[in-house]
A and B are shown apart, each in its own frame.
Chain A
């Protein structure tokens, strides 16, 4: 294995240190700030590739582990490691990082160094969230992440940015403090903050239920699930493009990751008892939020709602497992749902990121995101529309794109669990198609009615490169998801065993 040097620490600290350097070196020198940021992001991405290459797909135990004492008095360790559930998310993070830096290249004019620095620091912290194996360390990364995002939305956002960023911060902070109390409670019971120890510790039903609910609040806010989703459309609409991309592509995944890393393995009995709650909320998200998306007049808001709806698949795929096990008596069917959920997370990372970047491209030219302001963009920007339509199709879940794989697997497993779950979830194929394609029709096609559209210029080289990279990712993952599933397979199996082993 290529674990001779601390690769995970590098992935966390390289961008953070790079970000701090950018903050100081880039003052009054925008070009230096940009190039230094891009170099850091690229280096981080390249250094993250050995994670994939050196990954052992036959084991569910943690790999690339680093463990150092941090606060010995409380048994808190600087403990890092990845398994099949977190490794793809780490790569997604480092990959998105590069795109995000590139996307802001010509767009941000005010305090470039702070903008770039904030994104780099955020990148390191996000990686930290996915690789931390000590709950306090995890919490530190999880919360610290709010700081740069708070600044990014509030400083470079739209007209209602202050409202949006405060709402974002307070919602997420409120959700996570209950998680912290749960960690402290479990520490009190077991004397350890290690997540792996929490996986094996025994817990009574009352404790499990309360801990499950605390986790649910934390992760539901982050994902976000209905009815605590209202911060997301605000945050997305006001955030600058790169902020939206990071939010949609990575931060939302933390909620889903939280469910598989914490809720299911730590509180399996409560998860089983309360799975109806999560499934119900997921189905509401899929259908109701889909319908809400239909009536949006702002493109970013539309995609934001579509994100919530798609994340509903993630939570649905994760929590149908108990019904499947009950129906079929084996974990085989549940495996499909869980893997579907994980694939959906990665795929949604690419697609939602791409959608927000595409909207950003339009916004940079027209300075409006109102659907009604556009029409017939294809006449002026054929290359752009080609990519945008591809991403829209992926958003709908067209076979051959990554959107299809996850959704299909989740719907299939939902049918195994319960006919109604499957039917309701499948409605998204109609609703999703409706809101996405309707937007495509109104924005990209039709006659040019606005003279500003007349003056649009097609993608420049930088934008083309970003779009093309994402397009490749979306198509490759759609056509050949095998390697990704292989990486997850063993870990998902292990997770399912943990999630169905009673801890009472």
Chain B
């Protein structure tokens, strides 16, 4: 057997991240004494360098390397760029939060960077092993990040919950992989697809495989009925970590969902479509109804996130390229909105006070009208009210569902959108209509955060007025496959 040196070039961004993360891990031990922010800046630079390498070699065709286990295409590049964009925001917010809450440490950024690396590998995965590898790199980083505040029992509890359930989910996923491998004799996605298509594989084993894979993915996405971990983990984790795990990983999770279901088993669409339909509808309903009674904004956003996953799945269940593109658009918008939402909680939090209860937001308009306006944009964008970008995310997926002939699902979707509008309005009611408990002016913990949160929120409005290029980006990248 000849060993051929694989092409390394397509994986340069990943290699940059790996090298930088390893370097920072070591360097942090020496730096952190003298230069407090060195790790932070090094992390941000690593991301920017990775983004630079992606942009300069932007993939216009599909490149497969490492013996079919790694793929670089415009779908992957776009998602990676957005993961970087979102992560830049995450680290910016996190730095201030960690400082404010007095557990600033370089480990957060190192772990975060490894998490990003995991996401990159997930996005570019082209066989089961790579995919699993990416998922585990990301998940392990996140388990540790949640428990970063080891003296907080809430955080440790969240971490345990997430670890146990996450391990279970990965187990399911692996079990599904093994069945698919057993039935098809291959682990490379296109080959698996080909063998399924040819009808040579055992249909029963395949069906079981699909079910387990979908369940594993549903855990990671937080889709009903595998969503139970999300509210507790979101709530218990420090807000900086919630911000991290509520945004960028969703993009990566969408990517593996796409890779596995669409690239790996298009022949089994009848099997997974039904599963996705059920999960999508349940997620939208649970996300809309259970969020109503939440008093904690982080928990509310967790449930609203579950609802958003339901909407995201609408695009997948349409089972055609336009549908996937709309889902891709949705997940990007969702991640950006998430950064804005959790970023707002971080910006307003104070030492020893999380500012994550809806009651904390009472009378925000009287205390800081600018941030109140920004929160209005964020909430209405999440609710899908025009002219904010969340509206276009919703209508695109609904449009694709209608196109695919599921108008009844579209009707359920819009009804849940109306129900969920209620809890977003509840937050705005607290901000605009209630009297503040504390009249003193409330400024964000740093002017940097003020700018950051304003920038992201206004981006939601500007993108809403001019959504065209982002939409086209998504549709073209999927269309190229």
Contact = CB atoms under 8 A, between A and B. Distances in A.
A184 B410 contact: yes
Interface in A58-72: 69-72
Which of A74, A114, A178 has its CB near the most chain B CB atoms (within 10 A)?
A74
Interface stretch (B52-60, B301-309, B399-407): B399-407
Interface residues of A, number: 38
Q: Is the interface of B mostly helix, strand, loop or mixed?
A: helix
B402 A184 contact: yes
A73 B433 contact: no
Interface stretch (B63-71, B350-358, B411-419, B445-453): B411-419
Nearest to A185: B402
A177 B417 contact: yes
Nearest to B464: A140
Contacts of A162: 429, 433
Contacts of A147: 376, 380, 385
B205 interface: no
A71 B468 contact: yes
B471 interface: yes
Given A155-B433, A181-B402, A143 B421 contact: no
B418 A143 contact: no
Contact of A71 (B403, B414, B429, B467): B467
Given A71-B471, A147-B385, A27 B369 contact: yes
Interface in A124-180: 136, 139-141, 143-144, 146-147, 150-151, 154-155, 161-162, 165-166, 169-170, 173-174, 177-178, 180
A188 interface: yes
B414 A178 contact: yes
B95 to A, nearest CB: 29
B351 to A, nearest CB: 29
A151 B432 contact: yes
A79 to B, nearest CB: 15
Interface residues of B, number: 35
Contacts of B422: 166, 170
Interface string B113-125: 0000000000000
A144 B385 contact: yes
A74 B470 CA distance: 13
B414 to A, nearest CB: 4
A288 interface: no
A187 interface: yes
Nearest to A140: B386
Contacts of A140: 386-387, 391
B418 A170 contact: yes
Given A140-B386, A185-B407, A188-B399, A70 B468 contact: yes
B373 to A, nearest CB: 8
B375 to A, nearest CB: 12
B380 A114 contact: no
B392 to A, nearest CB: 8
Contacts of B467: 71
Interface string B206-235: 000000000000000000000000000000
Contacts of A73: 468, 471-472, 475
A166 B425 contact: yes
A143 B386 contact: yes
B411 A181 contact: yes
Nearest to A142: B386
Considering the complex of A and B, which 10 residue pairs feature the smallest CB-CB distances, nearest first?
A177-B414, A140-B386, A154-B433, A184-B399, A71-B468, A174-B418, A184-B402, A188-B403, A143-B386, A144-B386
Given A140-B386, A143-B391, 16 more contacts: A23-B373, A27-B369, A73-B472, A141-B386, A144-B387, A150-B425, A150-B428, A166-B425, A170-B425, A173-B421, A174-B418, A180-B414, A181-B411, A184-B398, A184-B399, A184-B410
30 contacts: A69-B468, A73-B468, A73-B472, A111-B365, A114-B365, A140-B391, A143-B385, A143-B391, A147-B376, A147-B380, A150-B425, A154-B432, A155-B432, A169-B421, A169-B425, A170-B421, A173-B385, A174-B418, A177-B415, A177-B417, A177-B418, A180-B414, A181-B410, A184-B398, A184-B399, A184-B402, A185-B402, A185-B407, A188-B399, A188-B403
